[in-house]
Chains A and B, each alone.
Chain A
Amino acid sequence: MSRSAIGYIALVAFGLIAPFFIYPVLVMKVLCFALFACAFNLLLGYTGLLSFGHAVFLGTAGYVTGHALKVWEVPTLVGLLAGTGAAAVMGWVIGSLAIRRQGIYFAMVTLALAQMVFFYFLQAPFTGGEDGLQGVPRGTLFGFDLADDMNLYYLVLAIFAASFWLIQRTIHSPFGQILKAIRENEPRAISLGYDVAKYKLLAFVLSAGLAGLAGATKTLVFKFATLSDAHWHTSGEVVLMTLLGGMGTVFGPLVGATVIVTLQNELADKVGSLVTVIMGAIFVICVLAFRRGIVGESLALYRRMIGQKP
């Protein structure tokens, strides 16, 4: 227990000082995607549901928050909540349809429904089509001007930390245990008398809402919301982040998101056109040789090491 406490404290400390030596916008981007991946992990890693349309929640919240802040000129906090709420509602609609099927079908259904929503965003006037919703004001919070990157950074860090805590609490709660039971053996969970559909839906809505919070925050960071957030490529990316970091691990998604976002940023001016190939290759390698992801494999290695000594 104390070892993990030290880990958390070190992480928080790192988070607090990171923007002084790493570019703050990049760190904020990493945090947004990390939150997105953590929310996704709640579904894939702990409930065993592979959604291939999670980008839609990121995109929906981004657009709603952007629209609320820019057109309705609501306070920043209200904008964030509106986006998160919209994503949760969207999660409820898509989730109630998708949980009617299991396994691979579930993945295909979420992908297809997400594609439908993407087409809606493409055509809807309020999204600005392929121009995107641009120039979203960041506003102020408790008297702090969020236009300043540093102020915003600490807000983003706080949002991430709070959501991360919420996810941990969920996983370790009785609710989280039931989710794991469903992941391990759904028929048994049913026979134990649990209303599996209800739990799955609840997990889906929670995951969608948190993914939405990530999208809303991202809009605040970049001051725009665009179609690429809702595109199925982004859905694929979040799967990759979770897989690479280690699904079903606490820190996996954070590590995965950090690696992928940094990689995208660094590769942009080096290999240019090979980015997609590299992403795909990472996918293949992960599935074939590295299924527990960076965190999962390291943990296994660590356990083997201490397991051998005594």
Chain B
Amino acid sequence: MSEIFGIPIQAFMGQLMLGLVNGSFYAMLSLGLAVIFGMLNIINFAHGALYMVGAFMAWLGLTYLDLGYWQALVLAPLCVGVFGVLIERTMLQWLYKLDHLYGLLLTFGLALVLEGLFINIFGVSGQPYSIPDEFSGAFNLGFMFLPKYRAWVIVSSLVVCFATWYVIEKTRLGAYLRAATENPKLTQAFGINVPLMVMLTYGFGAALAGFAGVLAAPAIQVSPLMGSNLIIVVFAVVVIGGMGSILGSILTGIGLGVIEGLTKVFYAEASSTVVFIIMAIVLMIRPAGLFGKEK
């Protein structure tokens, strides 16, 4: 049996695949953060909470309305998106003229409220959401059994990520969006409704988080705290990638997922800190982030 750095090649490939799965989640979440940041100049601390709400929507739909996984995959992000729009209209829009830090503080408070409420209603141990029947079982890839659901996670999140990239970078709508990011006043003067675009952008970012939540629901326990553990790592991912580029945040997310996965094989003890260590190194060498532009 061949080996890489003393690890059987099978195990190595297996961990690589799993790293890709986690990387997909990082990519989706950091993409949402980047889109929101680009338009609103706000770091959305509530992103983890919205991801959690997405997972709970799926569970609630299944338990009380008998909605299956596929319906949830469409409806839950929509609900979270609408919820995001409500947040933007009722709260965030009053903060744009102020220091960006207020946006961070507000969304941090929102995250606490959401988590607290869900704990009160559903308890902390969380709720089970089983894997949809279509995806039970596993593919035999030769080097590992990859559960079908994990494969679906990789495929669907990559599709969503690159669709987002395409819309923003290659379409007319995306061009408006980029223009509004660059110079809101001028864009407004050209007759484009900038506040509407800002609102929809936040809604879309929230919907992305909700979508990630639904994808995560069958794989991990649906619990009120599932988002807060993840969000700090995603922040580090965002710092490493820099939020200047959409593609950059996708690639950084996937890449770090893979690196983290491999760390679990070589030195599992460090797997929780490896992302932060990389962040420190990147900050020393390239403070603006790998894909960031120095402003």
Contact = CB atoms under 8 A, between A and B. Distances in A.
Interface of A: 48, 50, 97-98, 100-101, 103-105, 107-109, 111-113, 115-116, 119-120, 123, 232, 236, 239, 243, 273-284, 286-288, 291
Interface stretch (B1-9, B15-23, B51-59, B276-284): B276-284
A109 B279 contact: yes
B239 A108 contact: yes
A291 B276 CA distance: 32
Interface in B238-295: 238-239, 269, 272-273, 275-277, 279-280, 283-284, 287
A287 B283 contact: no
B101 A50 contact: yes
Contacts of A280: 109-116
27 contacts: A98-B283, A100-B287, A101-B239, A103-B101, A107-B43, A107-B101, A107-B104, A108-B238, A108-B239, A109-B279, A112-B235, A112-B275, A113-B279, A115-B276, A119-B273, A239-B105, A273-B119, A276-B113, A276-B116, A276-B119, A277-B120, A283-B112, A284-B91, A284-B106, A286-B109, A287-B105, A291-B102
Given A276-B115, A287-B106, 11 more contacts: A97-B280, A100-B284, A101-B239, A104-B37, A111-B235, A116-B273, A277-B112, A277-B117, A280-B114, A283-B112, A284-B109
A148 B101 CA distance: 43
Nearest to B242: A105
Nearest to B41: A104
Q: Is the interface of A mostly helix, strand, loop or mixed?
A: helix
A104 B116 contact: no
A116 B101 contact: no
Most B CB within 10 A of own CB, among A98, A108, A288: A108
Nearest to B236: A112
Contacts of B112: 236, 276-277, 279-280, 283
Interface of B: 37, 43, 91, 94-95, 98-102, 104-106, 108-117, 119-120, 232, 235-236, 238-239, 269, 272-273, 275-277, 279-280, 283-284, 287
A123 B116 CA distance: 28
B120 A273 contact: yes
B43 A283 contact: no
Contacts of A115: 232, 276
B106 A100 contact: no
Given A103-B100, A276-B112, A283-B112, A113 B232 contact: no
Contacts of B280: 97, 113
Contacts of B283: 97-98, 100-101, 109
A282 B120 CA distance: 18
A74 B79 CA distance: 59
Contacts of B105: 239, 243, 283, 286-287
B113 A112 contact: no
A276 B114 CA distance: 9
B167 to A, nearest CB: 25
Nearest to A240: B109
Nearest to A114: B232
B217 to A, nearest CB: 23
Please give me the 10 A-B residue pairs with the lowest Cβ-Cβ distance, nearest first. A283-B109, A280-B112, A277-B116, A276-B116, A280-B113, A116-B276, A100-B287, A284-B109, A112-B236, A287-B106
A50 B111 CA distance: 18
A282 B116 CA distance: 13
A100 B242 CA distance: 13
Nearest to A94: B280
A102 to B, nearest CB: 8
B276 A112 contact: yes
Among A113, A115, A243, the one with the most B-chain Cβ atoms within 10 Å of its Cβ is: A115
Nearest to A284: B109
B101 A112 contact: no
Contact of A232 (B232, B269, B273, B279): B232
B277 A282 contact: no
Given A116-B276, A273-B120, A281-B113, A104 B232 contact: no
A204 to B, nearest CB: 15
Nearest to B110: A284
Contacts of A111: 232, 235
Given A103-B100, A280-B109, A288 B91 contact: yes
A287 B100 CA distance: 12
A48 B37 CA distance: 20
Q: Which of A107, A274, A282, A291 has the most CB of B within 10 A?
A: A107
Nearest to B235: A108
Contacts of B235: 108, 111-112
Chain B CB within 10 A, most for which of A115, A283, A287: A287
B279 to A, nearest CB: 6
Contacts of B272: 119
B277 A116 contact: yes
